[in-house]
Amino acid sequence: MALLATHNLTAHYGDFQALFGVDIEINEAETIAIIGANGAGKTTLMRSISGVLRNGPEMVRLEVAEIGSAPADEIMAQGVSMVPEGRKLFPSLSVEENLLIGTYGRKIDGHWTLETIYDLFPILKERRNSPGTALSGGQQQMVAIGRALMSNPRVLLCDEISLGLAPVVIKDIYKSIPKIKAAGASLIVVEQDIGQAMAVADRVYCMMEGRITLSGRPDELSRDDIHNAYFGASH
């Protein structure tokens, strides 16, 4: 049984339908990448899984539990944590406080603690008392990833973690992915940077206009397959 799966997932913003029957699944200790152009529905998919957008309960399952209609705080408590697009650090909290907020109201056992987060991103320890938003974009992304990890999630959703960052910084951020995976989390990585996504993923889903247009292992997919799924066959 898949650890987390969506079944015929749909999502709407008012009258506008953004997702059309999306089916994806992720297994224990697996990393999957969701790729697609702007407006393909990747972030909407993440928002639907994380509880920001509420759906029918059966549309998202965490093992046997139907969580599609649960609010974000309950989904997080069940082990699905999110690194949101744009990082969304809390400006009135320091770096360390931003990290600690990931453990609010819970006693959490697991690999990820302040110390292991600081081992993963040593620069954060040096900047622990700085306001989170005073850091560079890359460092802010490290805080956002660390904050999500502090709850020791079973599934970590990473929404566009390379967005707006310099290539060298993106490389540093992506170096942490295998370590996070090794610590036991499954990852769903949403990316526009196809190269980065293919490098870390066990499987890839490509989205276009709210639908899954391609899926498979990175080594099974040709450039043409991806190009067609990304932009449509007519391009």
Region binding other proteins by CB under 8 A among candidate stretches 21-29, 74-82, 175-183, 226-234: 74-82
Distance CA 235, CA 213 (A): 14
Distance CA 132, CA 148 (A): 14
End-to-end CA distance of the chain: 37
Q: Does residue 72 touch other proteins according to CB under 8 A?
A: yes
Total chain residues near other proteins (CB under 8 A)? 26
| 81 versus 213: smaller Cβ distance to other proteins | 81
Distance CA 202, CA 221 (A): 12
- Residue 100: phi and psi, rounded to 5, are -65, -25
| 105 versus 195: smaller Cβ distance to other proteins | 105
Q: Does residue 151 touch other proteins according to CB under 8 A?
A: yes
Out of 50, 55, 141, 152, the only residue in the binding site for other proteins (CB under 8 A) is 50
Q: What is the DSSP string of 5-28?
A: EEEEEEEEETTEEEEEEEEEEE-T
Task: State the virtual CA torsion across 105, 3, 144, 121 in degrees, nearest 10.
Answer: 100
Out of 3, 18, 67, 76, the only residue in the binding site for other proteins (CB under 8 A) is 76
Region binding other proteins by CB under 8 A among candidate stretches 9-17, 29-37, 49-57, 116-124: 49-57
Out of 41, 102, 138, 210, the only residue in the binding site for other proteins (CB under 8 A) is 102
Distance CA 20, CA 18 (A): 7
**Taking the complex as a whole, how short is the minimal distance between the CB of residue 74 and other proteins, in angstroms?**
8
Region binding other proteins by CB under 8 A among candidate stretches 26-34, 83-91, 179-187, 191-199: 83-91
Q: Does residue 54 touch other proteins according to CB under 8 A?
A: no
